[in-house]
Amino acid sequence: MTFDFVEPVVFAVLSIGVIAGGVAVVMLNRITAAALLMAFTFLSMAGMFVLLGAETIAAFQVLIYVGAITVLILYGVMFTKFSTSPRALFFQKQTPLAAVFVAAVAVPIVIVATLSFTGAPPRPGGGDLPALATSVFTDFAFPFEIASVLLLAAMVGAIVLTKRDDQEEAAARRRR
Amino acid sequence: MTVPLGAYIAVSAVLFFTGCAGVLVRRNAVVILMCVELMLNAANLALVAFSRKYGSIDERGSVFVIFVFVIAAAEVAVGLAIILSAYRNRPVVDVDEIHQMKG
């Protein structure tokens, strides 16, 4: 193929986007910026799905992660006050233990994962939607229904958890 | 020369452990939720990549990714609801301060 160099270059750019975004989410003290960079990470990840030939998954990624989840998280950020002191970021009693744990688990796995799988993923013949839809609505029809019940339960649960009863509502109004 | 599977898995592993470090180190509950989302997304990348490499024609790996999407959406909705209702009792989002669930 003539354009063999395009795919590695696109992959490199996207992986830099994914990893830089992820690191920024962990490191940044400004939470609104962190949430937007999380959306950026998700978008780069959608690009990776396209590169892998999973266009439908990429579309869902943009709709659900970049659309819904980022907006929900931003609401969470804006409803809560958060401390901007440096203490909130890194230097606290969990830090050394967390660093040791992550390094001990992460380094071997990254090395093994990188060295083990050297073959190229095969190029898909076409879009992945027909195969995906067939799987979901035949073999995975029952888990699909369970997932919809789970979403309903989560929705009702979120409403119940955040709903104030009338007394609380009146007290909050008096405070204002 | 296409991109090898190992490269996708490496990116997935790096992102996963970035999120893992965030969950362990950060104390803001909303940021912890964001880092959990990063970890779930890294797992999605590994699932899709393996599905491409070893999957049969029926895309079963990608089906699991769809279920992960569902779980992620449910998790973030319930997680934020819990954070907000805890915040209403006591206006803190620092998980070191929220150490009891008693009302």
pLDDT tens readout for residues B21-71: 999 988 888 899 999 999 999 999 999 988 887 766 667 788 889 999 999
Residues of A in contact with B76 (CB under 8 A): 69, 72-73
User: Which one is the CATH code of B5-89: 2.40.10.10, 3.10.580.10, 3.50.50.60, 1.10.287.3510?
Assistant: 1.10.287.3510
**Bridge partners (DSSP) listed for residue B28:** B94
For residue A47, give the CATH number of its domain: 1.20.120.1200
Under 8 Å between Cβ of A80 and B92:
no
Q: Which residue, among A5, A43, A45, would best test binding to B if mutated, counting the most B CBs under 10 Å from its CB?
A: A45
Q: A39-92, pLDDT tens digit by residue?
A: 999 999 999 998 888 888 999 999 999 988 999 898 888 887 766 555 555 566
Q: Is A45 left (phi over 0), alpha (psi -120 to 50) or beta?
A: alpha
Both A133 and A149 in a single domain?
A: no
Asked if A133 and A169 sit in the same domain, the reply is no
Contact A8/B at CB under 8 A: yes
At B2, the amino acid letter reads: T
Cβ of A118 within 8 Å of Cβ of B5? The answer is: yes
Structure-token pair, residue A96: 């050394």
More confident residue, A24 or A92: A24
Regarding whether A145 and A105 lie in a shared domain, the answer is: no
Average pLDDT, chain A: 82
Partners of A151 on chain B (C-beta within 8 Å) are 70, 73-74
How does residue B1 score in pLDDT terms, banded at 50, 70 and 90? very low
In this structure, are A47 and A128 located in the same domain? yes
A59 touches chain B (CB under 8 A): no
Cβ-contact A57, A127 below 8 angstroms: no
Instruction: Tell me if A131 is assigned to some domain.
Output: yes
A4 at B interface, C-beta within 8 A: yes
Q: Are residues A52 and A116 in the same domain?
A: yes
Other CB atoms within a 10 A radius of the CB of residue A20 amount to 15
Q: What are phi and psi of B94, to 5 degrees?
A: -80, 120
Mutation target vs A (from B9, B20, B26, B65; most A CBs, 10 A cutoff): B26
* CB A22, CB B23: distance < 8 Å: no
Q: Is A37 on the interface with B (CB under 8 A)?
A: no
Q: pLDDT tens-digit profile of A101-129? A: 888 888 888 887 777 766 655 555 556 78
On whether both A96 and A15 belong to a single domain, the answer is yes
Residue of B14, B39, B60, B75 for testing the chain A interface, max A β-carbons within 10 Å: B14
The answer to whether position A99 is within a domain reads yes
Q: Does A155 touch chain B (CB under 8 A)?
A: yes
Collapsing DSSP states into helix, strand and coil, what is residue B38?
helix
A134 plus A162 within the same structural domain = no
**Do A70 and A89 have their domain in common?**
yes
SS (H, E, C) chain A: CCCCCHHHHHHHHHHHHHHHHHHHHHHCCCHHHHHHHHHHHHHHHHHHHHHCCCHHHHHHHHHHHHHHHHHHHHHHHHHCCCCCCHHHCCCCCCHHHHHHHHHHHHHHHHHHHHHHCCCCCCCCCCCCHHHHHHHHHCCCHHHHHHHHHHHHHHHHHHHHHHCCCHHHHHHHHHHC
Residues of chain B contacting A147 with CB distance shorter than 8 Å = 67, 70-71
Q: What is the CA radius of gyration of chain B?
A: 17
- Domain-located, residue A19: yes
* Lookup: tokens for A160: 């119940």
Structure-block tokens of residue A139: 């073999």
Our measurement of the distance from residue A16's CA atom to the centroid of its chain's CA atoms, rounded to an integer in Å, reads: 16
pLDDT at residue B62 in the model: 85
The domain tally of chain A equals 2
Query: Are A22 and A40 within one domain?
Result: yes
Considering the domain architecture, whether residues A65 and A146 belong to the same structural domain is answered as: no
Asked if A36 reaches chain B (Cβ–Cβ under 8 Å), the answer is: no
Instruction: Give a yes or no: residue A1 inside a domain.
Output: no
- Tell me, yes or no, whether A122 and A152 share the same domain: no
pTM as predicted: 0.81
How much is the ipTM here? 0.89
Range of the domain at A147: 140-176
